[in-house]
Amino acid sequence: MRQTVSNEDLMRFLDGELPPDEVARVEDALGRSTELQRELRIFEALRRDVGGLTYDPPPHRSVWDGVQRRLTRPVGWILFVSGAILWTLYGGWVFATSAVNPVEKLAVGALAIGFLILLGSTVSERVREFRTDPYRDIQR
């Protein structure tokens, strides 16, 4: 059996997690040592102070969040989508007018269309899930 009482033993004593034989040992040591009594009082004060703490972060909203949401994001999406459409049309035109074997064109076209179908279905599924996600407003 151990003869000394550690800080961990004091914390477990305070939380009521010690078995009865160790409770008796700690109480006996507390009766003999004012240093242990002082440490136990410190742990009790810490427990009271920390027990009353809560974490409720304030929302981080500013004027610029509204500006970004209403102006920058739509403009960025418009530019991105229009650029992607133009590049896709130009690439399709170059691809269609090139002097490559038609079987190769069909294979590459099937590959590209299959990829776009899979990408579109994944994105639409994520958007549907996002609308009903109960954790979407949780900040990390």
Average pLDDT over residues 22-30: 90
* 68-74-76 Cα angle (round to 5): 90
Q: Is 46 in the same domain as 75?
A: no
Neighbour-count burial of 96, counting CB atoms closer than 10 A to its CB (0-12 exposed, 13-18 middle, 19+ buried):
exposed
- For 95, half-sphere exposure in the C-beta direction (CA atoms, 13 angstrom radius) is 15
Q: Is the dihedral of CA 86, 89, 92, 94 positive or negative?
A: negative
Domain that holds residue 82: 65-98
Confidence grade of residue 119 (pLDDT, cut at 50, 70, 90):
very high
pLDDT in tens, 32-91: 989 999 999 999 998 888 887 877 766 767 777 777 778 888 888 899 999 999 998 998
Q: Is 114 in the same domain as 139?
A: yes
**Tokens matching residue 120:** 């579109």
The answer to whether the CB of 55 falls within 8 A of the CB of 31 is no
Give the integer Cα–Cα distance in Å for 130 and 112: 27
Give the integer Cα–Cα distance in Å for 95 and 97: 6
Domain total of the chain: 3
pLDDT at position 58: 67
- Is 20 a member of any domain? yes
pLDDT at position 41: 93
* 60-63-65 Cα angle (round to 5): 60
Residue 136 has pLDDT above 50, yes or no: yes
pLDDT at position 138: 77
- Is 92 a member of any domain? yes
- Is 59 a member of any domain? no
DSSP 36-48: HHHHHHHHHHHHH
pLDDT at position 1: 43
